[in-house]
Amino acid sequence: MPEQTSKEIRSTVTNEGNIEISIATVEKPTPSENEVLIKVEASPINPSDLGLLISFAADLDSLSVSGSGDDTVAKMKIHEGLMKTMTPRMGQSMKIGNEGGGVIEDAGANAKELIGKTVGVAGGAMYSHYRCVPATRCLVMDDNTTSSEAASSFVNPLTALGFIETMNLENHSAIVHTAAASNLGQMLVKICKDDSVPLVNIVRKSEQVDLLKNLGAKHICNTSEPYFMESLVDALEATGATLGFDATGGGNEGRLVGQILSAMEIAANKITKEYSRYGSDTYKQVYIYGVLDKLPTILNRSFGMQWGLGGWLLTPMIGKFGMEKFQQMRERVVKEIKTTFASHYTQEISFEEMLQPETIKAYAKQATGEKYLVAPHKE
């Protein structure tokens, strides 16, 4: 007899000032005429998932766990000074998981042809046994692609491709990227190499330099080196990069975004023929798309008056790219999911394992090369 229930991960902020992560048992969803029912077999833990799962306000040193199996509950205190910021989600049992991969088990009348297909999907609430989503949200994979391979087919691949499209849209010709040894950063190195786009990679460890060199990266700057700014200026001069994407929000003691803009200005002034008190007339843009560093973003305004700093999110940008371009991006991900857009995982964990204190602390580090994959049906 088919299963009639589904299990999913929930995160709740309680009136006692705690975050509780638990496993909820719910009714198995039924697809409407334009929906599919996915048996979710794999879902990654991305930095964007942690914002809901444990939030920036959690005190990980207070972590404790009670119960076992489906009754497992992880609990952690919210830092007292940050409790007010959590008020909007007080008492709400929130579903988690931006993306995942699985097999379509059932479908509504208008999507029956998809039954049995392996798909990737960014549907939210993907830390679930079963998930109903509109068929149009699914990225249908080739027959030889597994659910684990399809699990990370949206957030990182489409973000990396989105950087290229933003560059084209805004008339830049090269890119600067921070946290460049990340899973996304490695994808971007491969894309830029294949598409002949000059790329400046910023990392913070020597082993990350070696990693990117092995992928074919040409310009790599290490913030931990004393000559970081000099090497960054040289790389910007060589590439002409005037567009940056920053995953940290802080970085290098909060100075990284400002350093990128300053280095762009120095590189621009090297080819400027006339002095201006307002700086070069080269427009420089940096987008913050992540908050890996909780430090403030510090700007020492040494980059003239032709510059911009803003936030970047994929979903709003899709509207600017247009659906035809977005569909081309999706098709490229399917075609290159085992190569350019392949993801590698440190560990595959069950729902119960996901709630263990040491595991939470491990994936909360967001360490380079340590990506966790949730397997909802793993015992």
Can you give 262-288 as a three-state secondary structure string?
HHHHHHHHCCCCCCCCCCCCCCEEEEE
Q: 331 pLDDT exceeds 60? A: yes
Output the domain CATH number for residue 358.
3.90.180.10
Does 336 fall in a domain? no
Cβ within 8 Å of residue 214, ≥6 positions away: none
Q: What b/e readout covers 138-159, taking b as 16+ CB neighbours within 10 angstroms?
A: bbbbeeebebbbbbbbbbbbbb
Q: In whole angstroms, give the CA distance from residue 234 to residue 69.
A: 55
Cα–Cα distance, 198 to 69 (Å, whole number): 50
CA separation for the pair 229, 236 (Å, rounded) = 10
Q: In this structure, are 113 and 243 located in the same domain?
A: no
Domain containing 240 — which CATH number?
Answer: 3.40.50.720
Start-to-end C-alpha separation, the chain:
20
Is position 204 within any domain?
Answer: yes
Same domain? For 193 and 118 the reply is no
- Alpha helices by DSSP H, the chain: 47-53, 147-150, 155-169, 183-195, 206-214, 228-239, 256-269, 314-321, 323-335, 351-354, 357-364
Average pLDDT of the chain is 95
The reply to whether 175 and 299 lie within a common domain is: yes
Q: Are residues 121 and 14 in the same domain?
A: yes
Domain hosting residue 242, numbered range: 155-319
Let me know whether 174 and 33 are in one domain. Answer: no
37 pairs with which residues across the strands? 106, 132
Instruction: Answer yes or no: is 330 within a domain.
Output: no
Residue 325 lies in a domain: no
> What's the one-letter identity of residue 252?
N
Whether residue 354 is found in the same domain as residue 310: no
Could you tell me if 183 and 291 lie in one domain?
A: yes
Same domain, 362 and 314: no
Residues 50 and 111 placed together within one structural domain of the fold = yes
Residue 334 lies in a domain: no
Give the pLDDT of residue 163: 98
Judge whether 326 lies within some domain.
no
Work out the average pLDDT over 37-47: 96
pLDDT of the residue at 1 = 44
Q: Do 51 and 199 fall within a single domain?
A: no
> Over 80: is that where the pLDDT of 275 sits?
no
pLDDT per position as a tens digit, 237-258: 999 999 999 999 999 999 999 9
Residues 287 and 312 in one domain: yes
pLDDT recorded at residue 2: 62
